[in-house]
Structure 1
């Protein structure tokens, strides 16, 4: 994609933000002059020079810190864009700043007094699970707020949350959803810890060491080994992402290498590509969905050809879970890239095809329900979800998730891959309408990786 086209894409976003802001203020889009004046002010912050890429991170023998999802260079670039009042960044920053996770009065909610966390399918019988995800999300949000504002209160809040867990969580994660719950939290904690440990003051070396010990004793056992085998693929992909973060924070090269190998094994088995895979998806014992019966291991996707190239193992379940898998896939790839391992290029054909296929299905979607079944597009009837159980044959659940942004930044902006459908979905749907942080592993992507300039900063 040319620099000019990148600028035009950002201009579309700025226009959307201006219109949405005006509508939110007085219930209308305002007069023509007001719109034009506001848009001109917003667009003046965007120039071709702001989207030029720099060199990728060089491979080194040690880990780069902070180095989970973001680096100091990238955070500095975010700060610069906020200071320049870039409309995309300013809007994303305000959303984060005004969230419950960024409250200066945020009070840690867990872990439970007995030191263990447990929940069952669909997070029922919740014993500290939702509280854990709220606290992990708050720790990451507060760490970002600390770096972007310089206000020590935020760093102190993040430290207090992390210390509460490292001192009180002793019983690990139980219940049928325990391993998945552990993965979701493990994806978030290291990102917060990296920022605080390597950019802030106030976290003692002993406390940071205790937090690292907690990650390796209370989380790692639940996300390694056979955990996640045979489950829907978002489970293992989330576990792999968690492994990457823990490896970086604990400087564990062996764990990092294991995560790389698992990513390379599970990604081809989750994302089908007709040119690479022929007329059947990649499978292996214990792979995505392998514990499910017969042809329904792909949740009703039984046709594999060029018409559905890019379909995932969970597309015919609901795209809510696909969004979680996408977030995990690209969170892991971004952390690996920061550390000098380019997984993006390894599976570029497979993953860009999947992004384009899913983006086509999700154009214009505003739904956030996991049970809102809708008809498969007419041109895919008989190809997509035709093996689903009645009455859901030829139906799927499109869900708008606040992800794909990190993936788009990596491929379209950094590597100049033309992704028109993904561009349209990101610019017209995700940035203006998706919840910027809807929990689990979807965290503030527009703010940190929104293709707004200095896009390759590491």
Structure 2
């Protein structure tokens, strides 16, 4: 989101979840409300999965592994596209400027500007951590450490707020914080050097994530729109990896597969691809899908396959969304029409889907392919965890170099 005004408007819409009430005795269709909570897909029981307690976490292992980041560096060193242009876009972001200053406050009120500070700080920390990982510029590591240390030492609480809006505040921000911390703590430069984050500071940040974020994520929010559940699951998974918490990881994993809420996989996405928020708008639908994609990638990096769950349901959901955004007609179930609101607005997350299903698995997703080609390089969103995906998630063939073996390790 490129302006504070747009950001605040979108955030306000994300938080609300109540159907439209009667106004002056005239009842309007509920789906005409911008905060409409649409019906969930029927759902189906999926095989339970868990990360065994004796299986150590892979580090770094949230959205990026050591091998993946090292491979991206090789593409960049060779001046190959689309990575080179995507790196320039990351470097040009307002959140990766070296004069960025954290604005974190001790208590976050999900109804005022402090939530904006939280989202921007989390996004900036993640962006700087990525730049340090991919360029070796220690100034970016130092800046990311400054931002995380500010949160680790100052952040005491996220207020629950009206309608439990503090829960989704935690879901929208904690994943980027944890992703930044994971890179600073575990990525190693080609010469073996680390970011230099003091262990004491890292432990303080870890304790803050568990004490401040995790309580807000627990229980999720099953009665609200599914992007809430999905965002909270992704953040819980991200935090669990950094904190080495098997119980937390498996809690999110179980909910993704068989949770009762709108954000679990087969409640959020119908077998033909329509999602629970299709009748609401396409911005929130993309938010929910991107969070589920983040869950799948985090699980994959820990050796668990969520991408193939329910017959590649996530791929079906993304192809349906991409087809509608491309201006095509799509199948709609029930009496609620698909909403045209947000049809022309793109949100990050597609590169993860393209890489896994198309590049690695060979699935034919023509509309996902069209979408990533149209919107490269994929940028950042203050709410969505997967960001700068062209730079960090694509491992297909270079556009300007001889063909070679560049598949994702």
| TM bracket (short chain) | 0.7 to 0.9
CA displacement 1:359-406 (0-9 Å, x = unmatched): 111116xxxxxxxxxxxx6675xx468525xxxx87553122222110
- Aligned equivalents of 2:348, 2:312: Cα separation in 1: 23
Which SS does the other structure have where 1:218 is aligned?
helix
**Runs of 4+ deviating beyond 6 Å:** none
Find the partner of 1:97 among 91, 94, 112: 91
Inter-CA distance 378–194: structure 2 relative to 1 (3 Å threshold): closer
- The equivalent of 1:324 in structure 2 is 287
**2:133 is equivalent to residue 189 of structure 1:** no
Which SS does the other structure have where 2:307 is aligned?
helix
- Aligned equivalents of 2:157, 2:288: Cα separation in 1: 27
For the 8 Å contact 1:63–1:251, the answer to whether it is kept is: yes
- Aligned equivalents of 1:171, 1:394: Cα separation in 2: 36
For the 8 Å contact 2:225–2:276, the answer to whether it is kept is: yes
- The equivalent of 2:247 in structure 1 is 254
Inter-CA distance 63–379: structure 2 relative to 1 (3 Å threshold): closer
- The equivalent of 1:63 in structure 2 is 57
**2:363 is equivalent to residue 387 of structure 1:** no
- Aligned equivalents of 2:97, 2:330: Cα separation in 1: 47
Any unmatched runs of 5+ in structure 2?
1-50, 188-193, 259-263, 398-405
- The equivalent of 2:131 in structure 1 is 145
For the 8 Å contact 1:173–1:182, the answer to whether it is kept is: no
Find the partner of 1:422 among 346, 364, 368: 368
Inter-CA distance 423–156: structure 2 relative to 1 (3 Å threshold): same
Find the partner of 1:118 among 94, 105, 109: 109
- Aligned equivalents of 1:378, 1:76: Cα separation in 2: 41
For the 8 Å contact 1:89–1:452, the answer to whether it is kept is: no
Inter-CA distance 201–230: structure 2 relative to 1 (3 Å threshold): same
For the 8 Å contact 1:136–1:188, the answer to whether it is kept is: yes
- Aligned equivalents of 2:59, 2:294: Cα separation in 1: 16
Tell me the CA shift for residue 262 of structure 1.
0.8
**2:407 is equivalent to residue 444 of structure 1:** no
Tell me the CA shift for residue 333 of structure 1.
0.7
Bigger radius of gyration among the two = 1
- The equivalent of 2:261 in structure 1 is none
Inter-CA distance 386–204: structure 2 relative to 1 (3 Å threshold): same
- The equivalent of 1:4 in structure 2 is none
For the 8 Å contact 1:385–1:396, the answer to whether it is kept is: no
TM-score by length of 1: 0.70
- The equivalent of 1:229 in structure 2 is 222
CA displacement 1:215-244 (0-9 Å, x = unmatched): 11100000112x312000000010000111
Tell me the CA shift for residue 446 of structure 1.
1.0
CA displacement 1:39-88 (0-9 Å, x = unmatched): xxxxxxxxxxxxxxxxxxx9981001011100111111111111111121
Inter-CA distance 385–83: structure 2 relative to 1 (3 Å threshold): farther
Inter-CA distance 228–84: structure 2 relative to 1 (3 Å threshold): same
Which SS does the other structure have where 1:408 is aligned?
helix
For the 8 Å contact 1:326–1:404, the answer to whether it is kept is: no
For the 8 Å contact 1:66–1:198, the answer to whether it is kept is: yes
**2:301 is equivalent to residue 338 of structure 1:** yes
- Aligned equivalents of 2:137, 2:314: Cα separation in 1: 39
For the 8 Å contact 2:320–2:330, the answer to whether it is kept is: no
Tell me the CA shift for residue 417 of structure 1.
1.4
Inter-CA distance 386–394: structure 2 relative to 1 (3 Å threshold): farther
Tell me the CA shift for residue 271 of structure 1.
0.1
For the 8 Å contact 1:140–1:188, the answer to whether it is kept is: yes
- Aligned equivalents of 1:446, 1:405: Cα separation in 2: 6
- The equivalent of 2:5 in structure 1 is none
Which SS does the other structure have where 1:201 is aligned?
coil
Tell me the CA shift for residue 342 of structure 1.
0.8
Inter-CA distance 395–145: structure 2 relative to 1 (3 Å threshold): closer
- Aligned equivalents of 1:77, 1:250: Cα separation in 2: 26
For the 8 Å contact 2:230–2:288, the answer to whether it is kept is: yes
- Aligned equivalents of 2:283, 2:238: Cα separation in 1: 23
- The equivalent of 2:73 in structure 1 is 79
